[in-house]
Amino acid sequence: MIIIMLGAPGTGKGTVGNLLAQKLEIPHISSGEIFRSYINEAGQIGEQVKSYVLEGKLVPDELTIKLLEKRLQEPDTQKGFILDGYPRTLVQAESLDALLKGQNRSVKVAVNLSLSDDEIVDRITKRRTCPNAECREIYNLEFRKPQVENVCDKCGTQLIIREDDKEETIRKRLENYHNISEKLIDFYQNKDILYTVKLNNESNMVSSDIAKEIEEYLKK
């Protein structure tokens, strides 16, 4: 089973994708993790990826597609996988379809987690992150507070607000996301495999509830 997670930053697609991956016993593959793994490797590809990431630029389609193709050749993807953060562009979506077609496979569903920009800003600005490289635990002042104010439960490190969790940065990221996402959403809608989950900050739904809803949808 192949699932794509769509959604703006702050919608929780990574958390939901991880939960689904555990339930379905298939790998959760995020573009960020792929990039980081190659940055840590020596070689020309690693240096190319690193130069884009350090400058805060999107890794070009051609390079991103090449890295994903390498990842999907690994044995753990044979029964399926969940993609998070890929595809980001229409070119990537079309190349993914072509790659899967060559393997006699296809995307089962593209899950779109939908939340208003104002609610996303409210959610992310309340996020606090542990800067300890061996921990990186994430909290939220609304629905996942640390036991001791501003201190990581796991390692005791003082929590921080990341630069990309500040409102001005979030608004820019959302603007970039919307410029790209509409074409992707239309692409999967036209293929009749788009499933949208409408979220709001007032709801009592948590990530596990959302994952369960998607799991039930997949059984239909």
Tell me which residues are annotated as active site. 13, 88, 127, 162, 173
C-alpha 214/C-alpha 111 separation (Å) is 8
Q: Beta strands of 52-193 (E only): which ranges? A: 81-84, 109-114, 127-129, 138-140
Other CB atoms within a 10 A radius of the CB of residue 190 amount to 9
CA distances from 17 to 57, 59, 148 (A): 24, 22, 29
Q: How long is the chain?
A: 220
Report the alpha-carbon angle 83-186-15, nearest 5: 30
Burial of 158 (0-12, 13-18, 19+ CB in 10 A): exposed
